[in-house]
Amino acid sequence: MPSPSSCPPYPESLVWASDRLRLLDQRRPPAEGVWIECRSLDDVVDAIRSLVVRGAPLIGVAAAYAVVLEEARLRSAASEKRRRLEEALDRLAAARPTAVNLAYAVGRMRRVLADDPPELGAALLAVARSMAREEEESSWAMSREGARRLEPGARVLTHCNTGSLATLGPGTALGVVRCAWGEKRLAEVSCTETRPWGQGLRLTTYELLYSGMTVTLLTESAAGARLLDGAYDWLVVGADRISPRGDVLNKIGTHMLARLARLGGARVMVVAPTSTVDPAWDGRAEGRIEERSGDEVWRSLGAGDPPPGLRIANPVFDRTPAEAVDLIVTERGPGRPGDKDFAHILGL
C-alpha cells in the first residue's frame, strides 16, 4: 500500500493561528501566493462566497474555525452570545449551497452550542481541530486506498482541483493520483482546465508540478474527445455531495466526462470523505446546484465587459447519477453503488 513517505510533498492552503484563520487566496495561484487573514465569521463567509477558500472538505474546516473566531469576537452576555452565534451559523450555512461539508460543519458546531459547555470557546475549538484532523486522516486513507485500485501503467484523467489546496492532507481524487504517482503506477496524468474559474488549469497543474509530477492540461472538450478515443483508463474526481444511492454532485463537467469515460472504456472513480455524504439527499439535483454570475464566464477569457443584453448561464456543479459511477472511495474504503456494504462505505 502507498505510504505517506512515498507520496510526494504538497502545498497547503489553511493555517489556524489562534486568533485568526489564514487562507491561501485560491483565486491567485500560480501567478501569486497571497494569504488572507480572517478574523471574524463574516470574513470567512466572504472568503467562501468569493472562492478564496474552496473545495468541499476545506470549506467545512474553514467554516468550523469561523465559528471559533466569532465566539471569541462576541463580547455579549452568555444568552445573547448564543443567539448571535445561532444567527451567524445561519449566515455561514448560506454561503454556498452545493458542498454538504458546509452544512456538516455547521451542524457539528450547532451541537456544541446546544450542549452549552461551561467553556464554549474551548469546546468549539476542540471540535474544529478534530474536524481538521479527521479530514486529514481521511484524505490519507482515501488516497492510499484509491491508489491501490489503479493498476500499474494506468492513464488517469482528473477534473477540477481536489488536492491539498481543497482539503487537508494530500487531497481526495488528486490525493489518489499523487499517491499512485509516488508508487510509480501511472503512465499518464491529465487534468481539465475546469471552466470558468480554472481550478484545474491554475491549481491542479500548480499542485502537481509542486509535487514533481508530470501533467497534461486539456480543455474540457478536448478531454471529452480523448476519453471517447480510449486515451484513459480512469476518470478520478471528487464530490461535493453524495446521496445514499451513490449519486454525485461535483464540479460542472463531471457528468459529461463520466458518460464519455464509459463510452471510451474508462472507469469512473469518485473520491470523497464521508463528511461529503448527505443521508437526507434524494439524489435529485433541484435546488442544489449553485448558479454563479455570468461575469465569471465572460471575464475569465479577458473579453472585457459583456455586451448589454447578453444572457450568460453559469451553473457550477452538476449531478452524475449513481449508475454512471464505477467506484466510490471514502476513508472507509472503496465500494460500488449497489454493493451490499455500500452504506457502510458511505458511513450510513
Residue ranges binding ligand MRU (CB under 6 A): 54-57, 99, 160, 162, 166-167, 172, 199, 238-240, 250-251, 316
Q: Return the number of the residue (126 or 274) whose C-beta is nearest ligand MRU.
A: 274
Contact 129, 264 (CB under 8 A): no
Q: Return the number of the residue (250 or 330) whose C-beta is nearest ligand MRU.
A: 250
Give least dist CB 71 to ligand MRU, A: 26
Whole-number Å distance between alpha carbons of 348 and 345:
8
Torsion-angle region of 153 (φ positive above 0: left; ψ -120 to 50: alpha; else: beta): left
DSSP code for 323 = G
Give least dist CB 168 to ligand MRU, A: 10
Taking 3-state DSSP, the helix, strand and coil percentages for the chain, each rounded to the nearest 5, stand at 45, 15, 40
Cα–Cα–Cα angle for 216, 222, 224, rounded to 5 degrees: 110
240 flagged as catalytic: yes
Q: Return the number of the residue (8 or 198) whose C-beta is nearest ligand MRU.
A: 198
Whole-number Å distance between alpha carbons of 120 and 298:
46
Beta-carbon contacts of 80 under 8 Å, excluding residues fewer than 6 positions away, are none
Question: Residue with CB nearest ligand MRU?
Answer: 238
Give least dist CB 53 to ligand MRU, A: 9
DSSP code for 264 = T
Contact 226, 189 (CB under 8 A): no
CA-nearest of 196, 258, 192 to 221 is 192
Q: Return the number of the residue (166 or 186) whose C-beta is nearest ligand MRU.
A: 166
Among 43, 240, 247, 318, the one annotated catalytic: 240
Give least dist CB 137 to ligand MRU, A: 15
Whole-number Å distance between alpha carbons of 141 and 333:
8
Catalogue the E-assigned strands of 146-243.
154-158, 186-192, 216-218, 234-237, 241-242
Give least dist CB 194 to ligand MRU, A: 8
Q: Return the number of the residue (4 or 315) whose C-beta is nearest ligand MRU.
A: 315
Q: Give the gyration radius of the chain's Cα atoms.
A: 20
**To which residue does cell 472538450 refer?**
221
Give least dist CB 171 to ligand MRU, A: 6
Q: Return the number of the residue (189 or 239) whose C-beta is nearest ligand MRU.
A: 239
Q: Which residues are catalytic?
A: 240
